[in-house]
Structure 1
Amino acid sequence: MRAGFIGLGTMGKPMAYNLAKGGFLSSVWNRTQIIAKTLAQTLNITYAQTPAELATAVEVICICVTGDKEVLVITEALAPNLNPQKIVIDFSTVSAETARQAAAIVRSQGGDFLDCPVSGGLEGARNSTLTMMVGGHQVTLEKIRPLLNTMGKSITHMGEVGTGQSTKAVNQIMAAGINQAVTEALAFGEAQGLDMDKAIEAISQGAAGNWFLEKRGKTMVQGTFNLGFKITLHHKDLSICKAMAAQLGFSLPLAEGMLTDYQQLIDQGFGEEDISALYRLKRPN
């Protein structure tokens, strides 16, 4: 099963690398061609000049790009070269409606489409431990499951196309709440003069322990915000969540508060930092 990868950014590049380690990757494309060319030379595979060229060379086309518009533009570009033997997997985080539109384009050419957003950040992409939430036909998922296993540790079929993205939206809102809770609580601890390394160790073993506290707690209190998931990307994802909620007449006050906080950090020039940089707004002056 030959696969191609479109979008070699922060998440896409390590995902493509692990796909190659699994023996599936044969071609890549990226908007900035030098990135695709360099990776192709490193992995001894080909790089395509266009998405359409990549589609002719492989059976499975993986997409991992920034937003809704990009997903639809690329899917339209792939369409002329799709057929019943082609499967398109979108790892991007977009709206459920965009996933359904992309699926309609692919299926109109006889191919099939899975929306497969991921969670786990840069560490998960590098270590092949991503969590994947999949929308689409179960039979199609089973065909490409060995391919997904090279990049993720947890793969859950959620239902029809769009349900993967809907589940990712739930994940992103929950991640926002955890970020708020952890940064605010640690700032409170620092204001009291606690030994924060000891406090984090103690709390991590109790009911309030969580991945974010374990992986980001000690670095954030030191003023270090090593990239795992960019503020700009979480801001984009929460904007998608807000739009999806508005269509349902559903209120998301926590997400809206996070959008305000993230925008403040972006305006201050911190948008490319990890989301743990929210601590900048919480810590004692």
Structure 2
Amino acid sequence: MKIGFIGLGNVGSKLAGSLLRNGHDVSVHDLNGDFVDGFVARGATRGESPAQLMRDCEAVITCLPSPAASDAVMQQMLPEVTAGKIWMEMSTTDAAEVKRLGALVTERGGAAVDCPVSGGCHRADTGNIAIFAGCDRATFERILPLLTRMGRRILHTGEIGSASVLKVVTNYLATANLLSCAEALVTCKAAGMDMNTAYEAIKISSGTSFVHETESQVILNGSRDISFTMDLVKKDIGLFQEVADRAGVPLEINPLMMQILDDGIARYGERELSPNIIRRLEDATGLQVLAPGFPAEMVDDEPEEEGYEVIPTGKPATAAE
């Protein structure tokens, strides 16, 4: 299958890299020509435009920073959508918007999938990230071989839009984890705890989380580099808020988190690394939360393995067929 890939940012570059590393025929396009040049040097084909990629490829993947960017790219691709073409949206986006764009694709005889990833840029780099996929079962079967080259655990979530709902749910939880880890670490420091010991105590206890075991490490290192920025966190929990609002759920925690992110962005800038939200508390207390021996960035040390479909608990394997 010839694949077009549009969007070679922090996540997209790693997903496209996994496809290329595993021998797929990949054409790439990005507004940043240097990103494209780097992929061409690795064996990818240079894409001229979104329209050209949709015209010449069987499947086109988009991994873009906002719903508006996805819409702009889709408007270019749409005239080239014909029967048998597949659009795979791997951006973190609004479920209603991906449904709208997906309907435009299916009206022209194509197939549409929202298939965002979760698990951190370091796992995207090794092909060990998780991928959610929202689409009909027949389309899922067609794209599963591609998904298992980009990710380890692949979950068919239901119709288009369902994956995007679950993606922003997981990002909401990750943000809540980050903010609570920031409060916990600053409180430990203020209480005179040894920070290496505090990290291990949380890690081996009921208080641990994926976020603690990754982002707390780069916080304590001082790099605060998790390849994600405050504006993207704010966007993601804003999308979660829209899901809740449409469903009539009166959230209490998320609005407060949005206020905290707004304050962090006002203080440090929207492109500030997201773990540096802890600086609000460091500045308030005059403390620096650092400890020796932690990495400046996360590296996935698990060997790359072919991905597989995850069957939801309580559902027999036949229910996914």
TM-score interval, smaller chain: over 0.9
Partner in structure 1 of residue 29 of structure 2? 29
- Please say which of residues 265-274 and 68-77 is displaced more in the overlay: 265-274
The answer on 1:147 being equivalent to 2:115 is no
Q: Deviations over 1:112-156 (max 9, x none)?
A: 000011112211221212211111111111111111112111111
Rounded to whole Å, the distance in 1 between the matches of 2:219 and 2:34 is 34
- Classify the secondary structure of the residue corresponding to 1:150: helix
The residue identity in structure 1 corresponding to 2:203 is S
Rounded to whole Å, the distance in 2 between the matches of 1:282 and 1:130 is 31
Shift of 1:33: 3.2
- Classify the secondary structure of the residue corresponding to 2:268: coil
Rounded to whole Å, the distance in 2 between the matches of 1:45 and 1:221 is 38
The answer on 1:133 being equivalent to 2:132 is yes
Shift of 1:223: 3.3
Cα pair 1:76 1:105 within 8 Å, conserved: no
The answer on 1:157 being equivalent to 2:138 is no
The answer on 1:186 being equivalent to 2:185 is yes
- Please say which of residues 16-25 and 91-100 is displaced more in the overlay: 16-25
Partner in structure 1 of residue 105 of structure 2? 106
Q: Deviations over 1:47-96 (max 9, x none)?
A: 12210111122111000001111112212211111112211100001111
Cα pair 2:178 2:215 within 8 Å, conserved: no
Shift of 1:236: 0.6
Rounded to whole Å, the distance in 1 between the matches of 2:64 and 2:180 is 29
Q: How does 1:1-285 map to 2 (within 5 A)?
A: 1-36=1-36, 38-283=37-282, 284-285=285-286
Cα pair 2:27 2:47 within 8 Å, conserved: yes
Report the RMSD for the aligned CA atoms in angstroms: 1.5
Shift of 1:254: 1.7
The residue identity in structure 2 corresponding to 1:61 is V
Cα pair 2:3 2:61 within 8 Å, conserved: yes
Give the fraction of aligned pairs with identical amino acids, expressed as a percent.
27
Cα pair 2:130 2:153 within 8 Å, conserved: yes
Residues 41 and 169 of structure 1, relative CA distance in 2, 3 Å threshold: closer
Number of residue pairs matched by the alignment: 284
Cα pair 1:22 1:147 within 8 Å, conserved: no
Partner in structure 1 of residue 318 of structure 2? none
- Classify the secondary structure of the residue corresponding to 2:175: helix
Rounded to whole Å, the distance in 2 between the matches of 1:227 and 1:177 is 16
Structure 1 alignment gaps of length 5 or more:
none
Q: Deviations over 1:237-260 (max 9, x none)?
A: 111112222222222222211211
Cα pair 1:121 1:229 within 8 Å, conserved: no
Cα pair 1:169 1:238 within 8 Å, conserved: yes
The residue identity in structure 2 corresponding to 1:8 is L
Query: Normalising to structure 2: TM-score of the pair?
Result: 0.84
Shift of 1:271: 2.9
The residue identity in structure 2 corresponding to 1:224 is S
Rounded to whole Å, the distance in 2 between the matches of 1:242 and 1:32 is 31
Q: Deviations over 1:23-53 (max 9, x none)?
A: 22421111233422x1342222221221011
Rounded to whole Å, the distance in 1 between the matches of 2:136 and 2:269 is 40
- Please say which of residues 57-66 and 210-219 is displaced more in the overlay: 210-219
Cα pair 1:27 1:47 within 8 Å, conserved: yes
The residue identity in structure 1 corresponding to 2:7 is G
The residue identity in structure 2 corresponding to 1:139 is A
